[in-house]
Structure 1
Amino acid sequence: MTTLGCALTVALAAAWSTAPPTEPARPAAATTVRTHEGLVRGTAHGGYRTFEGIAYAEPPVGRLRWAPPRRPAPWSGVRDATRPASACPQPPGEVPGGSTDEDCLHLNVTTPDGAGPAHPRPVIVWLHGGGYTSGAGSSYGAHRMATRGDVVVVTVNYRLGTLGFLAHSGLPGSGTFGLADQQAALRWVRTEIGAFGGDPRNVTLAGESAGGYSVCAQLASPVASGLFDRAIIESGPCTGRPDRPFAPSSIPLSRARAAGADLAAKVGCGSARDVMACLRRVDVPRLLAAQGTDQQPAYATPLLPGDPAAAIAAGRFRRVPVLIGNNHDEGNGWAAGIVRAGHPVTPGTWPDVVASFFPSPGQAKAIVREYPVHRTDGGPVFGAVIGDSNFDCPTVHTDGLLAAHVPVWRYEFADEHAPPLTSDTPPFPLGAPHASELPYLFDLGGRPRDLTAAQHRLADSMIDYWTRFARTADPNGPTSPHWPRQTVLSLAPEHIVPTRTAQLRHHCAFWNTLG
Structure 2
Amino acid sequence: MSRARCPRRRTALWCAVWCALLLLAAGVGPASAAAVAPAVDRPVVDTDRGPVRGTAHGAYRTFEGIPFATPPTGPLRWRLPQPAARWAGVRDAGAPGARCVQLPAVGPGGPSGSEDCLYLNVTTPSASHPGGRRPVMVWFHGGGFVNGAGDLYRPERPAVQGDAVVVTVNYRLGIFGLFGHPALGGAPGFAIADQQAALRWVRANAARFGGDPSDVTLFGESAGGLSVCAHLTSPASGGLFRRAILQSGSCSTTMPPRSLLPAQNRYEPFVPEQRTVADGVTAAAGLGCDRPEPGAVLDCLRGKDAAALATPELMMRFSLVSYGNRLLPEEPRRALEAGRFHRVPVIEGSTRDEMRIFLAQGLAAFPIPDAGAYRARVEQSFGAAAVPAVEAQYPVAAYPAPALAWAAVLSDASFTCPALRDGRAMARHVPVYAYRFSDRDAPNFTGLPQVEGFPYGASHGFELPYLFTMDAALTAPQRELSQRMTGDWTAFARTGRPGAAWPRFDSAGSVLSLAPGPGGIHVVDGPAEHHCAFWDAQWP
Scaled by the length of structure 2, the TM-score of the pair is 0.88
Among 373, 377, 390, the residue aligned to 1:353: 377
- The answer to which of 89-98 and 256-265 deviates more is 89-98
**Does the aligned pair in 2 maintain the 1:107–1:157 contact within 8 Å?**
yes
Q: Indicate yes or no: 2:220 matched with 1:207.
A: yes
CA distance in structure 2 between the partners assigned to 1:164 and 1:200 by the alignment: 26
Among 395, 420, 434, the residue aligned to 2:460: 434
CA distance in structure 2 between the partners assigned to 1:292 and 1:101 by the alignment: 14
Q: Indicate yes or no: 2:339 matched with 1:326.
A: no
**Does the aligned pair in 2 maintain the 1:111–1:152 contact within 8 Å?**
yes
Residue number in structure 1 paired with 2:230: 217
Residue number in structure 2 paired with 1:270: 290
Residue number in structure 2 paired with 1:443: 469
Q: Share of identical aligned residues, percent?
A: 43
Query: What SS does structure 2 have at the residue aligned with 1:215?
Result: helix
After superposition, the Cα gap between the structure-2 partners of 1:117 and 1:263, relative to the gap in structure 1 and judged at 3 Å, is: farther
Residue number in structure 2 paired with 1:49: 61
Matching of residues 161-176 of structure 1 within 5 Å: 161-172=174-185, 174-176=187-189
CA distance in structure 2 between the partners assigned to 1:163 and 1:264 by the alignment: 13
Residue number in structure 2 paired with 1:514: 538
- The answer to which of 333-342 and 368-377 deviates more is 368-377
Aligned residues: 507
Q: C-alpha displacement at 1:272, in angstroms?
A: 5.7
What is the identity, as a one-letter code, of the residue corresponding to 1:141? Answer: R
CA distance in structure 1 between the partners assigned to 2:130 and 2:66 by the alignment: 19
CA distance in structure 1 between the partners assigned to 2:480 and 2:38 by the alignment: 27
Q: Indicate yes or no: 2:32 matched with 1:7.
A: no
Q: C-alpha displacement at 1:391, in angstroms?
A: 0.7
After superposition, the Cα gap between the structure-2 partners of 1:146 and 1:14, relative to the gap in structure 1 and judged at 3 Å, is: closer
Output the aligned Cα RMSD.
2.5
CA distance in structure 1 between the partners assigned to 2:286 and 2:498 by the alignment: 49
What is the identity, as a one-letter code, of the residue corresponding to 2:284? Answer: A
CA distance in structure 1 between the partners assigned to 2:419 and 2:23 by the alignment: 23
CA offsets per residue over residues 216-261 of structure 1, 9 Å max, x none?
Answer: 1111000111000000011112222476768652100111111112
Residue number in structure 1 paired with 2:450: 425
Among 509, 513, 525, the residue aligned to 1:490: 513
**Does the aligned pair in 2 maintain the 1:128–1:208 contact within 8 Å?**
yes
Q: Indicate yes or no: 2:282 matched with 1:282.
A: no
CA distance in structure 1 between the partners assigned to 2:115 and 2:50 by the alignment: 22
Matching of residues 33-48 of structure 1 within 5 Å: 33-48=45-60
**Does the aligned pair in 1 maintain the 2:309–2:315 contact within 8 Å?**
no
* Structure 2 portions without partners, runs of 5+: 6-14, 258-264
- The answer to which of 504-513 and 54-63 deviates more is 504-513
After superposition, the Cα gap between the structure-2 partners of 1:284 and 1:349, relative to the gap in structure 1 and judged at 3 Å, is: same
What is the identity, as a one-letter code, of the residue corresponding to 1:353? Answer: R
CA distance in structure 2 between the partners assigned to 1:381 and 1:394 by the alignment: 19
After superposition, the Cα gap between the structure-2 partners of 1:269 and 1:372, relative to the gap in structure 1 and judged at 3 Å, is: farther
CA distance in structure 1 between the partners assigned to 2:24 and 2:240 by the alignment: 33
Q: C-alpha displacement at 1:370, in angstroms?
A: 3.7
What is the identity, as a one-letter code, of the residue corresponding to 1:123? Answer: V
Q: C-alpha displacement at 1:347, in angstroms?
A: 2.2
After superposition, the Cα gap between the structure-2 partners of 1:376 and 1:47, relative to the gap in structure 1 and judged at 3 Å, is: closer
After superposition, the Cα gap between the structure-2 partners of 1:63 and 1:345, relative to the gap in structure 1 and judged at 3 Å, is: farther
After superposition, the Cα gap between the structure-2 partners of 1:39 and 1:419, relative to the gap in structure 1 and judged at 3 Å, is: same
CA distance in structure 2 between the partners assigned to 1:42 and 1:322 by the alignment: 32
**Does the aligned pair in 1 maintain the 2:27–2:148 contact within 8 Å?**
no
Matching of residues 7-406 of structure 1 within 5 Å: 7=20, 10=23, 12-13=25-26, 15-18=28-31, 27-93=39-105, 98-115=111-128, 119-172=132-185, 174-241=187-254, 248-271=268-291, 273=293, 274-289=296-311, 290-294=313-317, 295-358=319-382, 360-363=383-386, 366-368=389-391, 370-374=393-397, 377-406=401-430
Q: C-alpha displacement at 1:11, in angstroms?
A: 9.2
**Does the aligned pair in 1 maintain the 2:24–2:142 contact within 8 Å?**
no
What is the identity, as a one-letter code, of the residue corresponding to 2:385? Answer: G
What is the identity, as a one-letter code, of the residue corresponding to 2:466? Answer: Y
- The answer to which of 113-122 and 497-506 deviates more is 113-122
- The answer to which of 302-311 and 257-266 deviates more is 257-266
